[in-house]
Structure 1
Amino acid sequence: MPRKTTTIARDIARFAPDEDGDWRRLDVLLDELWQAGAPEQAILEMLSVFERYPEDDGYGVMWSLVHGLEKLPNYESALLSSLARQPSELGIVMVGRMLNSGVTAVDGVSLLFTLQEIAGAATSAHIKEIARSVASRPR
């Protein structure tokens, strides 16, 4: 019997790679989430993975989060809230992808300004550099 979206979302929110650094369980959870039929109910839990691992891509597994979130309606404001709580490399990349597609603001918040704020205030030098790099790309 398939599990409920809320149960899968809880498991995503609690996800951590195993002691060997294996992220495949997250891929399994994401597949299960999409098969359950209501992935939009787990946007916050998916973004929480970025927040817990802000400088990681999970050996490519976290790109499944990027692509999955981008397919969902109305994830953008949750992404900006996530970045305000904990700037993350892939969250910044997603903002850059929105800018590249012609989106300049979400709910009245300038995406470029968001990147500039992160570049100025992030505690991680790596995150600051990613934000600067994405903000400075020609559009």
Structure 2
Amino acid sequence: MAELDLRWFDNPEDERQLKQLVDSIDVLDANNLSSNDVRQLLDVFERFPDDDGFESFWGIVHVLERAGGYESALVDSVLRSPGEFNLMMINRLLNGGIKHAGDQSLLSLLEDVARSARGNPNPARLAKHFVEYQRNKT
């Protein structure tokens, strides 16, 4: 199977591109994702940190979660460019009882993002929300 290349995707509001993105995700075999495939999928979140592609980005979440083994790449993605979907995936890992990806504490990662707006206050606000949620869980 050819390596996934989603660099062409440059407009999360373009109906044609969104259909092509969904089609590209739908043909992926979650059991055989390469590290490049994972990186390409997470890169969509990094390039569009405040978008959801009219909910088409959920397909990325689902294929990655089915595949597993993406956690370290997800941490790297958040470190490069925190956004709605990669932060939400960190929160979902914590909800599932996964506290670390390698040596990285996932809660500490959210706390770091919550303290640093990096020019965009939305990720910091969302990370703060997830930190508060995780701390208040029983």
Instruction: Tell me, in whole angstroms, the C-alpha distance in 1 between the residues paired with 2:49 and 2:99.
Output: 23
1:16-42 CA-to-partner distances (Å, cap 9, x unmatched) read 237x6322211011112239x733440
Give the structure 2 partner of residue 5 of structure 1: 2
Structure 2 distance, partners of 1:109, 1:103, is 11
Partner of 1:51: 46
Q: Counterpart in 2 of 1:96?
A: 91
The answer as to whether partners of 1:5 and 1:39 remain within 8 angstroms in 2 is no
> Which residue is equivalent to 1:14?
8
Using the TM superposition, name which of 82-91 and 121-130 deviates more: 121-130
Verify the 8 A CA contact 1:55 1:89 in the aligned structure 2: yes
Q: TM-score, normalised by structure 1?
A: 0.86
Which residue is 1:112 aligned to? Answer: 107
Structure 2, unaligned stretches of length 5 or more?
Answer: none
Among all aligned residue pairs of Structure 1 and Structure 2, give the percentage whose two residues are the same amino acid: 30
Distance in structure 1 (CA, Å) of the matches to 2:131 and 2:7: 29
Distance 1:106 1:59 in 2: 29
Aligned length: 131
Segments of 4+ moved more than 2 angstroms: 32-35, 37-41
Give the AA of the match of 1:120: R
In the other structure, the counterpart of 1:126 is: 122
Structure 1 unmatched ranges of 5 or more:
none
Q: Distance in 2 between matches of 1:63 and 1:118?
A: 22
